Structure formats: structure tokens, C-alpha cells
Amino acid sequence: MKNYLEYKNHIGTVEFSADDKVFWGKIHGINDIVTFEGASVLELEEAFKDSVDDYLQTCAELNKEPEKVFKGSFNVRVSGALHRSTALLASRKGLNINEVVKRALTYVVKHEEMLNDETILS
């Protein structure tokens, strides 16, 4: 089951507010905060597409890059045992920890359907 929206290579979250009885979401991976909402799933999908189109048009008019720039480094917190196992694996393979993590992330991105398997993530 997919709980996000996709349009023009952009992803939007899907949330529900029981208090307001409205679906809402936010566009991810962009330089600004853009939200959208609808009273039904169809309204939410249309609002998402309109929001993406409006955002891209505004960025073009302002000569602004719409996509968030990712610098390529981030902190990952893991257990001491996983850190140790990763360091030992890297040593056995003649790699450093960064290379092991980079290869693991590349594999997961190429095989994202495996993220639906709870046994892989536990």
C-alpha cells in the first residue's frame, strides 16, 4: 500500500486530520514548505498536482531552483553492536565504513520493495 502521492518527480505526504475531517499533505524534497489539502482523496490528489504545478511555475518565474540540494553527508545513529559489525565487515572487505554504508544504501534504493518486508528492517 502506498501512502504518498507522486507527480512530476515530486512526492507528497498523505495525512488525515480527524478533528478537521480533511486530508492534507506536504511536498517533500523542495526548498520551501508547500502544503495542500482536500476533503476527499480525489480532492487531495488534485490539490497536490496544483500545488506542484504552482510551485514549479513560481520557481521558474523567480529563476529559483525548486529541488532541495542534498550535500551528500548525514549522520546515522545505530546501535554499538551494528556499528562494530559494520566496521568489522568493512575491514574484512578492505573498505571503510562510509563505503559499506554507501553500497548498502545503493542496494536498498535499487530494491526499495524490500523495505516492505518487516523481517529485513528488524
* pLDDT single digits (tens) 62-104: 999 999 888 888 898 999 999 999 999 999 999 999 999 999 9
pLDDT at 69: 85
pLDDT at 111: 84
* pLDDT single digits (tens) 25-50: 999 999 899 999 999 999 999 999 99
Tell me the mean pLDDT in the region 40-61.
96
> Nearest Cα to 83, choosing from 101, 95, 107, 106?
101
Q: What is the pTM of this model?
A: 0.70
What CA–CA distances, in Å, run from 103 to 22, 31, 43, 53, 71?
A: 41, 28, 40, 35, 18
In three-state secondary structure terms, 94 is coil
Q: Is the model's pLDDT at 1 over the cut of 70?
A: no
Q: Give the number of C-alpha atoms closer than 13 A to the C-alpha of residue 40, restricted to the C-beta side.
A: 3
